[in-house]
Amino acid sequence: MIRLAIQKSGRLSEASSQLIKDCGINIVNGKGKLKATASNFPLEILFLRDDDIPGYVADGVADLGIVGENVVAEKAKDIHIVHRLGFSKCRLSLAIPKADTYNSIADLEGKHIATSYPNILGDYLKEQKVNANIHEISGSVEVAPSIGLANAVCDIVSSGSTLFTNGLKEVEVIFRSEAVMIGSPEVNAEQQKIIEKLLFRIQSLQRAKNNKYILLNAPKDQLDAIIELLPGMRSPTILPLAEDGWYSVHSVINENDFWDKIESIKEAGAQGILVVPIEKMIL
């Protein structure tokens, strides 16, 4: 049995529960509870405040946890990142009132900065050799300059719209974050096996998300040129069509170079191109 801690309610909650569900793990009675058990996997879920998750994992109360990397860095506990999950991407940035001028980080010398991340900010300022006064506040950091509490803020940003509506501008990105799976340093061999089984499923899902299944029709004389453009998992599947001189080609292509590939495949003479999502991808 392993215990996985996820955020009880917040920005990570839904994606964390969905990930477990997509792994084919069925959680009974999860809603509103502190703890839930999976019916078809040796897993218990603990629903906690995200800030508490690194501590619980470090203490061994939970074996695994899903949190933002920003929280892991801030808490600096004895835990390790087991796997990067790719969701809840955001950055921790310094922002100042829109009207203020900014040339470099040296402009913050002697200033007051409000943040919920005093450790990450402190390390950054030390590295930049800037002396500033850090004011730790736990929420609504973005209003600090307008109420005269600070000259600048260091806060989580994704689109920047919260900063903008509070009359602030982003001037430095000091940390980039995404949701990560963290693990306790002390798990036994049996638990390690369960963790690997879970990670295997997560990796299959992530791979599937990053790839697309592609089907297309190709004339015989262009077949080699088109195959050349399609790496596939091993090599593409080629099936003859009912119409003489034409083939159906099936392959897998990466999401990243998807549009470039499609263009060159089309130029090479492919027709009737179909692209379909992949649910799971096992190598």
Q: Which residues bind Zn ion (CB under 5 A)?
A: 50-51
Q: In whole angstroms, what is the distance from residue 189 CA to residue 216 CA?
A: 47
50/142 with CB nearer ligand ATP:
50
Q: In whole angstroms, what is the distance from residue 225 CA to residue 105 CA?
A: 53
> If DSSP states are collapsed to H, E and C, what string results for 156-194?
EECCCHHHHHCCEEEEEEEEEECEEEEECCCCCHHHHHH
x-or-dash pattern for ligand ATP, window 55-94, by CB under 6 A? -------------x-xx----------------x-x----
When CB distances are held under 5 to 8 angstroms depending on the partner's kind, the choice from Zn ion, ligand ATP, none that residue 145 binds is: none
Q: In whole angstroms, what is the distance from residue 206 CA to residue 90 CA?
A: 19
When CB distances are held under 5 to 8 angstroms depending on the partner's kind, the choice from ligand ATP, Zn ion, none that residue 70 binds is: ligand ATP
Smallest distance from ligand ATP to CB 87, Å: 8
Terminal CA-CA length for the chain = 26
8/33 with CB nearer Zn ion:
8
CB 57 within 8 A of CB 184: yes
Smallest distance from ligand ATP to CB 36, Å: 17
Residue 24 in tokens: 């084919």
251 binds ligand ATP (CB under 6 A): no
CB 182 within 8 A of CB 72: yes
x-or-dash pattern for ligand ATP, window 42-61, by CB under 6 A? -------xxx----------
Helix ranges, 210-268 (H): 223-229, 258-267
7 binds ligand ATP (CB under 6 A): yes
* Residues within the interface to ligand ATP (CB under 6 A): 7, 10-12, 49-51, 68, 70-71, 88, 90, 156, 158, 177
